[in-house]
Amino acid sequence: MIKGLVSIIIPTYNEEKVIGRLLSSIQKQTYPKYEVIVVDDGSKDNTVNISKKFTRKVYARKHAERSVQRNFGAKMSRGEYLFFVDADMELTKNTLKKCVKVMRNNSEIGAIALSEKPIARTFWEKVKAFERSFYSEKGDHQTDAARFFRRSAFIQAGGYDETITGPEDWDLPETIRKLGFKQGWVDVKIRHYENVPSLYSLLKKKYYYGLKSHRYLAKHNIPFASQKTIYFLRPVLYRNYRVLISNPIMGISMIIMLFFEQISGGLGYFIGRLKNI
């Protein structure tokens, strides 16, 4: 382990349209002590070649879920801190600097959640971005998933649970908190480019993530009907009711989207639990 080093770990699959933007934003960081690790899931496009222009640590692997890719990246890293980033993101220049500062100022913090600014083009991307805006303005403990970790906390937690797909982003921070670490929050507004070509594609993903959600809920003793699982039980949506009223088209579209997401995720949950997927 190299003290002060941030290991930025990026799982990829066919990301040639976006990976260059993310890697370029990493090069502009005001905190200079970092390494970039790209773990590719057998991309069939130019993702690997583009990545190699920015870092020597590019690993091409056979098909594996996101948790497996992330854990492999952590295994190949040398940093005191681990930062897991999605390929469709773009970092603001002070992202690493602010996260490291929080970690150094409080040794009890083992994980940090970061604010995001959704970027949308299609109609349903704009609806999803509208929903995310409710959570990202000041942070929300029900939906915020940490991305930046103290290496020691990550190791004690056993890394990402490779038996869970979808809720693993919530699972790891909860496991770390149970170990006695605290979770911090940094307002850096990472630009997150939404990729929602259609409502169907969004529902299909929710169904897939729902298939193994029963493992996450059972692991942390979370009831099926909770603020984590039922969108309409989240207080943050009602605290900002004025936003809904002032944007009726987006508001109604968001309610419709969440309703069908709930059905798709719930269907995945029950099928996954029934078949023990």
pTM for this prediction: 0.90
Answer yes or no: is pLDDT of 82 > 70: yes
Burial 160-187 (b: 16+ CB within 10 A, else e): bbbebbbbbbbbbbbbbbeeebebbbbe
Answer yes or no: is pLDDT of 221 > 90: no
Residue 203 domain flag: no
Residue 174 domain flag: yes
Q: Which residue, chain included where needed, has tokens 């919530």?
A: 170
Q: For residue 111, give the CATH number of its domain.
A: 3.90.550.10
- The C-alpha atoms of residue 245 and residue 255 are separated, in whole angstroms, by 12
Residue 202 domain flag: no
Q: What percent of the chain has pLDDT over 90?
A: 68
Going by pLDDT thresholds of 50, 70 and 90, the confidence category of residue 22 is very high
Residue 246 domain flag: no
Residue 45 domain flag: yes
Residue 110 domain flag: yes
What distances in angstroms separate CA 133 from CA 99, 116, 192, 230, 251, one per listed residue? 21, 9, 12, 18, 12
- Lowest mean per-residue pLDDT among 23-32, 132-141, 156-165, 242-251: 132-141
Residue 233 domain flag: no
- What residue numbers bound the domain in which 70 lies? 2-197
- Lowest mean per-residue pLDDT among 61-70, 75-84, 145-154, 268-277: 61-70
Residue 184 domain flag: yes
pLDDT of residue 145: 83
Tell me what the mean pLDDT of segment 145-169 comes to: 93
What distances in angstroms separate CA 1 from CA 4, 7, 67, 74, 276, one per listed residue? 9, 10, 21, 11, 38
Q: Beta partners for 117?
A: 191
CB atoms within 10 A of CB 210: 27
Going by pLDDT thresholds of 50, 70 and 90, the confidence category of residue 143 is low
Q: How many domains does the chain have?
A: 1
Cα 131 off chain centre by: 16
pLDDT of residue 45: 92
In the three-class reduction of DSSP (H, G, I as helix; E, B as strand; rest coil), residue 16 is classed as coil
